[in-house]
Structures are given as structure tokens and as C-alpha cells.
């Protein structure tokens, strides 16, 4: 059977795209996903249902280099809903300037004005109002009332106010800055409302939608430069499936990997690993961006971590001193139920450092070589140093003293008494060096098949997701973001798919 549309990857973006395309009953849509599909809440594992804590099963098992020589686990969801099925459920849009920036980079259809209707359409915000919010979309969004915050989260909120940050009720208000409850995509009883739940469950009975789970897409099939289908591995067999249009939604690691295995990438690099190049697209796998973070962790005194509460309930957004980018920093207190422990995290939300993804071989089962190159830009180091100093102020605040941060540890494995950490923060050279030693990722890779006009040599797709130089092939997921928004990336991925689906439905095939 030939499909009208083949969508590869059922994550934040792919689930939306397949659901929206199959609303047109005349269109035969195939959604291919490497992980399993759970059709209802009864069969879904508890880890995926529990939106209070991240899930570590259903993972691709990737590792990425943070800085040269230091590897860390790089989680990606492998299940329908993709990373939205395992994530921390923070539901943020970022700033209007993030999208105006995309438009300014040669993608004029992506201004804030253009993207806002899709953000409104995708949500059902149960406790914020105004023209910029939706009341009837598939993704429920809610916030924890101040009276219901876990004790440690309330102390964090009070400490931020003590340090002079304004209170915010709605972090998704276009002007928001300061500290307040984090909007979360949670259903009743804190069920994680992934894109699988929000979009696929209501669509999965449609006669024109086929969901093939446990099915690994290896490469795109071509007739010349026209995409005609995909090659998959399923049930121990290699198979070919034909379709009029192929759209990759395999995420910022998976989509560039499929492109490269299909001969679409830097020609010389592909030849070196035995892949015959088809279209020279040097931007594939470049421009890898993630938010960069520094964490200060400690084992908390008994009773200070509410192990039943969400990992985090309160978020601070602020601007690094001396930065020209408003709201370029985020901070939160994270409750880790296992030891139990607490950590403070400062995150650089508009980093300038860029990384790469390359294939090690042409096998679809191999982990790509992922290098984030975090904090390689001097301005990133400076702003993260300011963020680390802010964490020092929080540790010393009278509100947070009771949380027992006596011995602090970092992601480079160092541990030291809090007194020593606070003293070292007065030394700018130590602080900058510590940022580079301990910087880590925020599980938000984007940008590896970025959109841009044809004359831009690093652009991989045009502003509607169509691959430069090919016919019938698109990318629509985190990969196409030219820059990273100052927000956790799930809602932006939903928004991207909502918009690309509109364009695809209007296209005559
Ligand atoms: C642990 C974790 C916590 C996070 N927390 C948050 C948060 O709190 N808030 C937030 O906004 N964002 C968060 N994120 C980031 C956010 O979830 C992602 O940015 C977003 O889900 C990415 O969407 P995507 O569609 O681009 O990719 P994904 O959602 O990762 O989807 C890609 C899909 O493609 C499938 N796939 C990949 N390769 C193939 C192949 N070859 N064949 C078939 N299928 C394939 C994958 O299995 C997956 O289902 C988190 C991510 C992780 C991993």
C-alpha cells in the first residue's frame, strides 16, 4: 500500500503532525516509531504516567560530549510521545523575541505574531487567561497554587523574592520575568500529558491513520531527488514502504542521522563512512544547540524533600548582569527523590556555543557522535559564571539555610563544604574555570537541520520544512529551529508541527 504521508518519529512533533494530517479522511497517513505505543492509560507503564518525575525507561541510551573529553548520558524518549513521554512537563513558550529572531534569519513566516495562534490552539490552560491563551486545545496546562507548594519549593520562591526578583503568575505571558509557579502539561492527578496522549489517543482509531510502533526507520528512499518512501527494520526484517511525501520528526538527534544515512549531508564526511552522497547539505548535523546548565547539589536533611511532589514547581527567569538578552537565564530548585537530595540549577537559555552530530557508521542502531561544545563561547562562560554566583546567593539566603546545603557537589565530580564554595565564588578565574569543568546539558537539543533560505549555506530546510534540493521530503521537529528559544523545548516542538501540518494540508500533492 502506498501512503500519502509517511511521518517518521512519533514524538512531540510527529504525534501532532500525524494527528493533524489524518484529520483529512482522504489522506492515508503512516506514523512510524522506533519505540512502543501504549493505546490507553491502563496499559501505559506507571513511569510514563507519573508527570511529577522524569522517566528513565524508554530511552535511546545516548551519550554526548559536554566539553571535549567529558561524556554524559543524553536522554531521548523512545516511545510514542517521544521525549514528551519521559520529560519533566515544564510547558513554556519562550519570548516573542525568540520567534522574531527566526524570522529575521530569513524565515519570515515565523514571527511571534505568526506562531502565537498555534501556541493558543495547542493548549488548554486551566488557570491563566487573556488573548494569548487557549482554553480548548489538546494539551492541558496547569500551575501549582502557592499554598500547595512543597516546603522546599516555597523556600526557593521566598529566597528569590528576598533577592529582589518580582513574582510572576504566568510565565507564558509575553512580558513575564521573575519567579513563580511553572506551567506544566499535566492532566488530573499529575498525569504526564505527552503528545501521544494529547494527539494520538484521540486519533488512533481513524481508518486512514496507521501507527507502526517498534519500527526503526533506517533511511529515506529516492528516485533521483524525489523521496518515494522509507526503509525500515521491524520484526527482524528490512522492509520498504512507499509514500508520496516523507516527513522526518525523529528529533534533533534522530532526524539528522536519518538524513545522513540517506546521503543528505556533508558529502566528504558521508563518503568517509561509506555512504554515497545524494545532496551536499553541509548544515546537516551542525548548529547543535542545547541550553547550558550548572548544578549545585547536596544531600538534604531528612524530611526536606517531599518525595511525592513534582521535581520542581517554581521557576525563576532573569537576565544575567551585563547581558543584552532579556531573560537569558533560568533557575530552579530540583527535588531528587532517590537519595533524597536537592539541587539548584542555573541555565543559560540563549547560548552562543554550537555543537555537532556526526555518524560513526551507516548502521541505524549506532549512537551518533554527539558533541555539544557547551560553554566554548566566552560570553556563555561569563553569563554562566553570573548564574553560578546567583546560586551562591540562594544557598546563603536565610530562607534556604534550612535546606542543609552544607556540602555541595558539582557535575565534574567535585565536592566541597559550602563555606569553601562560597569563598571560591569571589575568585572570578575559579568561577569561570568551574563553569567549564561542570557545565552540563538541559536535554534540549535543537537546530541540527535548521531552516533558512536557499542562499544560506548552512540551511537544510526552507521555512516550511522542505529539504533544500529534494522533492517530497520534509523535516518538522526540534531540528529545524535555527536558534533555541529561551524556554524548555516541548511546546515549541508542538507549535512547529501544528504549523507545518497546516502548510502540508494546504499543499496540492
Ligand atoms: C528527560 C527529558 C526531560 C525534558 N524535560 C522537558 C520539559 O520539562 N519541558 C520541555 O518543554 N521540554 C523538555 N524536554 C525536551 C522536550 O521533551 C523535547 O525538546 C521534545 O520532546 C523534542 O521533540 P521532537 O519531536 O523534536 O523529538 P522527540 O520527542 O524526541 O521525538 C522523536 C521521536 O522519534 C523517534 N525516532 C527517532 N529516531 C527514529 C528512527 N530512526 N525510526 C523511528 N523512530 C525514530 C523517537 O523514538 C521519538 O519517539 C525534556 C527532554 C528529556 C529527554
pLDDT digits (tens, 9 = 90+) for 9-21: 999 999 999 999 9
**Ligand 1 centre and the CA of 12: distance in Å?**
6
**Ligand 1 centre and the CA of 426: distance in Å?**
39
Number of compact structural domains in the chain: 2
Q: Which residues line ligand 1 (CB under 6 A)?
A: 8-14, 32-35, 54, 75-78, 82-84, 86-90, 216-217, 249-252, 254, 258, 364, 443-444, 477-478, 488-491, 493
Are 322 and 277 found together in one domain? no
Of 51-55, 64-68, 304-308, the poorest mean pLDDT is in 304-308
Cβ–Cβ < 8 Å for 264, 474: no
Flag whether pLDDT at 304 surpasses 90: no
**Ligand 1 centre and the CA of 63: distance in Å?**
15
Residue 509: pLDDT band with limits 50, 70, 90? low
Are 126 and 251 found together in one domain? yes
Are 5 and 101 found together in one domain? yes
**Ligand 1 centre and the CA of 408: distance in Å?**
31
- Residue finishing a domain among 418, 438, 458: 438
Candidate from 254, 255, 451 with most ligand 1 atoms within 8 A of CB, to mutate: 254
All residues at 6 or more sequence positions from 218 whose CB lies less than 8 Å from its CB, including other chains:
230, 231, 232, 233, 238, 258, 261, 364
d(CA 158, CA 155): 5
**Ligand 1 centre and the CA of 142: distance in Å?**
21
What is the DSSP secondary-structure string of 170-186?
-TTSTT--EEEEPPB-B
Cβ–Cβ < 8 Å for 392, 425: yes
Residue 145: pLDDT band with limits 50, 70, 90? very high
Are 390 and 468 found together in one domain? no
Average pLDDT value over all residues in the chain: 96
**Ligand 1 centre and the CA of 14: distance in Å?**
10
d(CA 262, CA 343): 42
Residue 308: pLDDT band with limits 50, 70, 90? confident
Residue 336: pLDDT band with limits 50, 70, 90? confident
Q: Which atom of ligand 1 is nearest to the CA of 258?
A: 41
d(CA 150, CA 92): 21
Residue 302: pLDDT band with limits 50, 70, 90? confident
| Average pLDDT of the residues in 328-349 | 91
Cβ–Cβ < 8 Å for 17, 30: no
Cβ–Cβ < 8 Å for 115, 160: no
Flag whether pLDDT at 177 surpasses 70: yes
**Ligand 1 centre and the CA of 355: distance in Å?**
18
d(CA 213, CA 205): 15
Of 166-175, 307-316, 320-329, the poorest mean pLDDT is in 307-316
pLDDT digits (tens, 9 = 90+) for 243-261: 999 999 999 999 999 999 9
- Residue finishing a domain among 405, 422, 438: 438
Candidate from 6, 7, 9 with most ligand 1 atoms within 8 A of CB, to mutate: 9
Indicate which residue's Cα is closest to atom 18 of ligand 1: 490
**Ligand 1 centre and the CA of 8: distance in Å?**
13
**Ligand 1 centre and the CA of 172: distance in Å?**
21
Cβ–Cβ < 8 Å for 477, 195: no
Q: Which atom of ligand 1 is nearest to the CA of 75?
A: 53
Indicate which residue's Cα is closest to atom 2 of ligand 1: 87
Are 51 and 100 found together in one domain? yes
Q: Which residues lie across from 297 on neighbouring strands?
A: 343, 409
All residues at 6 or more sequence positions from 434 whose CB lies less than 8 Å from its CB, including other chains:
294, 388, 410, 412, 424
d(CA 383, CA 160): 18
- Residue finishing a domain among 421, 438, 455: 438
Q: Which atom of ligand 1 is nearest to the CA of 250?
A: 34
pLDDT for the residue 311: 87
Residue 133: pLDDT band with limits 50, 70, 90? very high
Instruction: Indicate whether 362 belongs to any domain.
Output: no
**Ligand 1 centre and the CA of 85: distance in Å?**
8
pLDDT for the residue 307: 76
Of 93-107, 397-411, 421-435, the poorest mean pLDDT is in 397-411
All residues at 6 or more sequence positions from 155 whose CB lies less than 8 Å from its CB, including other chains:
333, 399, 400, 402, 403
CB atoms within 10 A of CB 502: 15
Flag whether pLDDT at 337 surpasses 80: no
State the pTM of this model. Answer: 0.98
Are 202 and 224 found together in one domain? yes
pLDDT digits (tens, 9 = 90+) for 35-47: 999 999 999 999 9
Q: Which atom of ligand 1 is nearest to the CA of 491?
A: 11
d(CA 224, CA 221): 9
Reference 241, options 46, 488, 30; nearest CA is: 30
pLDDT for the residue 210: 98
Instruction: Indicate whether 366 belongs to any domain.
Output: no
Are 306 and 383 found together in one domain? yes
Are 131 and 269 found together in one domain? yes
Q: Half-sphere exposure of residue 430, counting CA atoms within 13 Å on the CB side?
A: 9
Flag whether pLDDT at 301 surpasses 90: no
| Average pLDDT of the residues in 421-433 | 98
Instruction: Indicate whether 98 belongs to any domain.
Output: yes
Candidate from 18, 57, 83, 485 with most ligand 1 atoms within 8 A of CB, to mutate: 83
Indicate which residue's Cα is closest to atom 14 of ligand 1: 87
Cell 504566568 -> residue: 170
User: Torsion angle of alpha carbons 25, 29, 35, 38, nearest 10°?
Assistant: 10
Are 238 and 214 found together in one domain? yes
Cβ–Cβ < 8 Å for 50, 190: yes
Joined together, the cell numbers standing for residue 261 give 544515512
The whole domain housing 78 covers 1-143+192-285+445-509
CATH code, 46: 3.50.50.60
Flag whether pLDDT at 223 surpasses 70: yes
Indicate which residue's Cα is closest to atom 19 of ligand 1: 489
Candidate from 54, 84, 216, 450 with most ligand 1 atoms within 8 A of CB, to mutate: 84
Instruction: Indicate whether 363 belongs to any domain.
Output: no
Q: Which atom of ligand 1 is nearest to the CA of 218?
A: 41
Instruction: Indicate whether 62 belongs to any domain.
Output: yes
Are 209 and 322 found together in one domain? no
pLDDT for the residue 1: 66
CATH code, 160: 3.30.410.40
Cα angle for residues 311, 325, 120 (degrees, 5° grid): 60
**What's the DSSP call for residue 446?**
B
**Ligand 1 centre and the CA of 189: distance in Å?**
23
Put residue 465 in one of left, alpha, beta given phi > 0 → left and psi -120 to 50 → alpha: left
Q: Which atom of ligand 1 is nearest to the CA of 13?
A: 25
Instruction: Indicate whether 355 belongs to any domain.
Output: no
Instruction: Indicate whether 134 belongs to any domain.
Output: yes
All residues at 6 or more sequence positions from 497 whose CB lies less than 8 Å from its CB, including other chains:
12, 13, 14, 15, 16, 17, 20, 249, 476, 477
pLDDT digits (tens, 9 = 90+) for 56-108: 999 999 999 999 999 999 999 999 999 999 999 999 999 999 999 999 999 99
Q: Which residues lie across from 238 on neighbouring strands?
A: 233
**Ligand 1 centre and the CA of 170: distance in Å?**
25
| Average pLDDT of the residues in 147-154 | 94
Are 168 and 35 found together in one domain? no
d(CA 143, CA 497): 25
**Ligand 1 centre and the CA of 89: distance in Å?**
12
Are 168 and 306 found together in one domain? yes
Instruction: Indicate whether 364 belongs to any domain.
Output: no
Amino acid at each position: 500500500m502506498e501512503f500519502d504521508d509517511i511521518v517518521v518519529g512519533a514524538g512531540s512533533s510527529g504525534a501532532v503532525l500525524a494527528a493533524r494530517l489524518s484529520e483529512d479522511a482522504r489522506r492515508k497517513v503512516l506514523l512510524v516509531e522506533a519505540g512502543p505505543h501504549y493505546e490507553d492509560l491502563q496499559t501505559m507503564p506507571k513511569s510514563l504516567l507519573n508527570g511529577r518525575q522524569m522517566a528513565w525507561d524508554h530511552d535511546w541510551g545516548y551519550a554526548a560530549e559536554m566539553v571535549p573529553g567529558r561524556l554524559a548520558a543524553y536522554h531521548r524518549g523512545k516511545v510514542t510521545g517521544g521525549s514528551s513521554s519521559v520529560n519533566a512537563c515544564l510547558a513554556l513558550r519562550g519570548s516573542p523575541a525568540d520567534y522574531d529572531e527566526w524570522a529575521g534569519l530569513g524565515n519570515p513566516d515565523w514571527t511571534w505574531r505568526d506562531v502565537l495562534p498555534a501556541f493558543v490552539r495547542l493548549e488548554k490552560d486551566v488557570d491563566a487567561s487573556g488573548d494569548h491563551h487557549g482554553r480548548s486545545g489538546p494539551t492541558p496546562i496547569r500551575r501549582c497554587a502557592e499554598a500547595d507548594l512543597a516546603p522546599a519549593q516555597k523556600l526557593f520562591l521566598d529566597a528569590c523574592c528576598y533577592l529582589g526578583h518580582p513574582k510572576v503568575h504566568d510565565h507564558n505571558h509575553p512580558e513575564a520575568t521573575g519567579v513563580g509557579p511553572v506551567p506544566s502539561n499535566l492532566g488530573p492527578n499529575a498525569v504526564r500529558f505527552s503528545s501521544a496522549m494529547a494527539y494520538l489517543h484521540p486519533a488512533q482509531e481513524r481508518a486512514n491513520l496507521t501507527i507502526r510502533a517498534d519500527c526503526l526507520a533506517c533511511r529515506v528512499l529516492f528516485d533521483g531527488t524525489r523521496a518515494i518512501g522509507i526503509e525500515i527494520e521491524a520484526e527482524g526484517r528490512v522492509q520498504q514502504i512507499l509514500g508520496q511525501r516523507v516527513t522526518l520528526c525523529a528529533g534533533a538527534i534522530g532526524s539528522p542521522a536519518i538524513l545522513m544515512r540517506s546521503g543528505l549531508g556533508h558529502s566528504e564526511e558521508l563518503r568517509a563512512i561509506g555512504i554515497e552522497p545524494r545532496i551536499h547539505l553541509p548544515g546537516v548535523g551542525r548548529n547543535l544547540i542545547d541550553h547550558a546548565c550548572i548544578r549545585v547539589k547536596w544531600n538534604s536533611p531528612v524530611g526536606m524533600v517531599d518525595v511525592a511532589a513534582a521535581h520542581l514547581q517554581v521557576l525563576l527567569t532573569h537576565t544575567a548582569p551585563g547581558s543584552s538578552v532579556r531573560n537569558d537565564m533560568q533557575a530552579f530548585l530540583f527535588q531528587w527523590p532517590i537519595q533524597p537530595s536537592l539541587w539548584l540549577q542555573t541555565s543559560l537559555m540563549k547560548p552562543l556555543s554550537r555543537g555537532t552530530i556526526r555518524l560513526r557508521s551507516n548502521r541505524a542502531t549506532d549512537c551518533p557522535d554527539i558533541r555539544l561544545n557547551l560553554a566554548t563561547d566566552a560570553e556563555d562562560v561569563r553569563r554562566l559564571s553570573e548564574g553560578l554566583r546567583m546560586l551562591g546567593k540562594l544557598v546563603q539566603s536565610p530562607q534556604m539555610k534550612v535546606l542543609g546545603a552544607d556540602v555541595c557537589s558539582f557535575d565534574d565530580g567535585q565536592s566541597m563544604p559550602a563555606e569553601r564554595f562560597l569563598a571560591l565564588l569571589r575568585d572570578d578565574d575559579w568561577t569561570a574555570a568551574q563553569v567549564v569543568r561542570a557545565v552540563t546539558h538541559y536535554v534540549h537539543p535543537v537546530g541540527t537541520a535548521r531552516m533558512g533560505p536557499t542562499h544560506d549555506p548552512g540551511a537544510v530546510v526552507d521555512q516550511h520544512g522542505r529539504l533544500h534540493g529534494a522533492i517530497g521530503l520534509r523535516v518538522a521537529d526540534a531540528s529545524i529551529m535555527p536558534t533555541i528559544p529561551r524556554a524548555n523545548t516541548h511546546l515549541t516542538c508542538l507549535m512547529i508541527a501544528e504549523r507545518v501540518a497546516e502548510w502540508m494540508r494546504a499543499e496540492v500533492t
